[in-house]
Structures are given as C-alpha cells and as structure tokens.
Amino acid sequence: MKFLDKKTIKVDRELNELDKFVLDFIKILEKHTDYVIISGYVSILLGRTRGTEDIDVFIKGLSKNKFIGLYNNLKKSGYWCLNSEESDELYSYLIDGLAIRFALKDETIPNFEVKFARNKLSKDSFNERINVITKEGNIKISSLERQIAFKRYYLKSDKDLEDAKHIEEVFKKDIDHKKINIFKDLIMKDEKA
C-alpha cells in the first residue's frame, strides 16, 4: 500500500467480502451522484484489521427525482433500505440531515449509512478526497488528515482513536500534521456553533 501521488493510494492486498460489498454498492451510487467514504471503513480499507457494521458515506445532494432513480436502481440490484420502503420518506430523512441505511436484501449487516453532505465540513470532504485503487475497482475516501482529526477530536471512542493511530502509523511520511490541526480547529468551531 502506497501513495502514487498526493490524491491516489494503491492497495495491493486481496480484497475481502466487505471490500467487494463496498465496490458493488458504489458502482450503483456513481451512476447517480458523487460520493466520499468516511469514518471506520477507511482504516479497514487501509489495512486495519477490525470489523464494522456499516460504511459511512456522504453523497452530494440530489433532487427528489434523481434520488428516486438511485433508490429504484439499488432495489433492482438487490438492496433494501432499513429505514423505510417509501422513497418520499427516505428523501425527507436526507433533506432533514438524517442518514438512511442500505443492505443486501434479507440482511442488515453490513450496511451503507448514506447522508447528504450538508454543512461546510462535510461538503469540503469532496475537495480533498483520495482515490484508492484496488485490484477490482477504485474507492473515493476523504483525506487522511480529515479522517485522523475527526476520529481523534470529534468521535473520540477507543475504536476511533485506534483507527486514527493506525492511519497515522501506516502513512507517517505522508501525513500533514498542520492539516490535522486545521481540521481539529474547524471541528471544535463547528461543535460550538
């Protein structure tokens, strides 16, 4: 695993079922909107051995009609939404800033936790994302510095702190610590608002 340039990481390891689940889902997602994967799955993709129940993803806002197209495509491809079967209700959740979850039919775990990127911090995650090249497809993740800062200064659970530590150790030569501090300040400012 290594950076090819500042915006591209190549992962050479064999992909597991979770990775394949992610690649299958984002192939559908990309037909309808742009995305960026955040949080726990990022550290797993980058070599940390741990389980997860969900994959967190921000998507760019969609009109109701475009969302319904995405929803119908996911249903046709064997996914179901854990929150509701009503597309109008699901769209209103997203508009209200809530997440909706998709899993393979008849399953609940793993699932994709999908949210619209609504505030400046979440929208900015699209600007600095990294393209991770795997043997079976590419996955867009938020910047490593953003991951570390959110795990360390916002989420703060033991699991999140270990995720941040893992990313920082694996990419110690590539991490920009000034950026981590900038994100820390933005997170603290956002929490107070």
171 part of a folded domain: no
15 part of a folded domain: yes
Q: pLDDT tens for residues 94-128?
A: 999 999 999 999 999 999 999 999 998 999 999 99
Domain boundaries, position 117? 2-143
Q: What is the pLDDT of residue 62?
A: 96
pLDDT, block means (10 residues), the chain with 193 residues? 94 96 98 97 96 97 97 98 97 98 97 96 95 97 97 96 97 96 90 63
Q: What is the pLDDT of residue 193?
A: 55
For position 93, which CATH number holds?
A: 3.30.460
Q: What is the pLDDT of residue 192?
A: 66
Q: What is the pLDDT of residue 189?
A: 84
Q: DSSP string spanning the chain?
A: -EEEETTEEE--SPP-HHHHHHHHHHHHHTTT--EEEETHHHHHHTT-----SEEEEEE----HHHHHHHHHHHHHTTEEESS-S-HHHHHHHHHTT--EEEEETT--SSEEEEEE--SHHHHHTTTT-EEEEETTEEEEE--HHHHHHHIIIII--HHHHHHHHHHHHHTTTT--HHHHHHHHHHHHHHHH-
Q: pLDDT tens for residues 78-88?
A: 999 999 999 99
128 part of a folded domain: yes
19 part of a folded domain: yes
48 part of a folded domain: yes
Q: What is the pLDDT of residue 190?
A: 75
The domain tally of the chain equals 1
93 part of a folded domain: yes
